[in-house]
Amino acid sequence: MTSMIYPTTNPLAIEQLVLERGEGVYVYDSNGKRYLEGLAGLWCTSLGYGNEEIIQTAEEQMRKFTFCHLFGGKSHPSAMELAEKLATISPVDDARVFLGTSGSDANDTQIKNIRYYFNAIGKPEKRKIISRDKGYHGVTVASASLTGLSAMHAHFDLPVDALGILRTTCPHYYREGKPGESESEFSSRLADELETLILREDPNTIAAFIAEPVCGAGGVIVPPEGYFEKVQAILNKYDIFLWDDEVICGFGRLGSDFGATKLNMKPDLMSCAKALSSAYVPVSAAMVRGEIYEAMSEQAAEVGVYGHGYTYGGHPLGCAVAIKVLEIYERDNIFDHAQKMGDYFQPKLKEFAEHPLVGEVRGMGLIGALELVFDKDSKSPFSTNSVGSFCQKAAQEEGLIVRGLAGNNIALCPPLIINEEQIDELIEKLSVALDKTLDYAKTEK
């Protein structure tokens, strides 16, 4: 046991798996055992492990220029090139790009940008942000306040109310839909609930609505039919920004460039990280519409500085790697490959709906989840998360890494470079793990 404080980990269950190397879609532990990495690291290693082209790019950048900050008028070619590339491909109109190192800091930046903008246009009261139950947006003080998962809040005394964070229903049709209600009707009801919340709080006080295209850490929750179109109509009606958190869905995960493209979202702000560099080095981007930036820049010029920034934001290494990763995505048609593999993966995943433990199968593209339940007919959950934890360990024993999420959900998110044979391997190993879990679950309630 080391002296390390581990992130998002039970302190009584640390260092259970020590990984030492990776190649393609596989990783190897300290004993040499091979695992199919079924969660792409942490929803992020889109191009797999050991890509020599990326490694060479990183080495070349480190030999050429190890560091340059972006404060006080300084810049460097890699940061400028990355910002221009992201602005070109982003679904945000006339996008302006702020570079950081993580999805959490990107979302933290966006909260500050939103406040800066509305102060600049003389609407300082317009600062509340609507987030959703089960949404995940990071772990800084501000981004954790946006996150709608109780484990991320417990004991931290986060300033949710002080930051003006409001909460609305998660679009989880399986859990939140009413008997006899269609997906379209469910979407309409959630849109109506959103409008009721906005009117109760006063539209003039609400700045933005933040959403992942497909919820990740909340359980891989795919929105129901018509959801974002109906939500966007409400937001447009009351002049509220749609803030798109693409940290997990961006760069091919759903089989398209961005989740916004796949789900017909028209964002005013967008946050990216993870697959932006295929997780080879930390880098993130917080993007805003051009008109938002223009208002902010005028106010910043009066002050003499836009007083926000990180020492390592726009680090030459992160920018160079991200540029290369974006090049590989485009050159090798990775998003098209992800769509094809998603079309192969999703039907195979849906076959698990027949398993006695599986209440629901959810997914889109190359991301999915199984929700394990005590009783399929009533959708009754288990009283603890032990069944999901057991399944994660059982999969690991079979040489497959998955992630057990709260509510006994088993999440899957393999590297985008996975092929059909490897998907078959993933499904086979998961099947064995589920059968082992069924035997264990018979002793649980």
Backbone phi and psi for residue 302, each to the nearest 5 degrees, phi listed first: -65, -40
Model confidence over 241-262: pLDDT tens digits?
999 999 999 999 999 999 999 9
Start-to-end CA distance of the chain, whole Å, equals 33
* 347/213 same-domain check: no
pLDDT one-digit tens code per residue, 198-226? 999 999 999 999 999 999 999 999 999 99
Same domain, yes or no: 305 and 345? no
For the chain, the average pLDDT equals 97
- 118 with 255, same domain: the answer is yes
pTM score, two decimals? Answer: 0.97
Q: What is the CATH number of the domain that holds 284?
A: 3.40.640.10
pLDDT value, residue 445? 59
Is 325 in the same domain as 338? no
Same-domain status, 273 and 421: no
The residue range of the domain holding 423 is 333-441
How does pLDDT run across 363-419, given as a tens digit for each residue?
999 999 999 999 999 999 999 999 999 999 999 999 999 999 988 999 999 999 999
Indicate if 265 and 398 belong to the same structural domain.
no
* 323 and 410 inside one domain: no
- Alpha-carbon torsion (171, 172, 175, 180), positive or negative: positive
319 contacts 138 by C-beta, under 8 angstroms? no
* Nearest Cα residue to 405 out of 168, 136, 175, 18: 136
Q: Is residue 18 part of a domain?
A: no
Spatial contact of 268 and 241, defined as CB atoms under 8 Å apart: yes
Whether the predicted pLDDT of 36 surpasses 80: yes
- Both 304 and 379 in a single domain? no
Domain count, the chain: 2
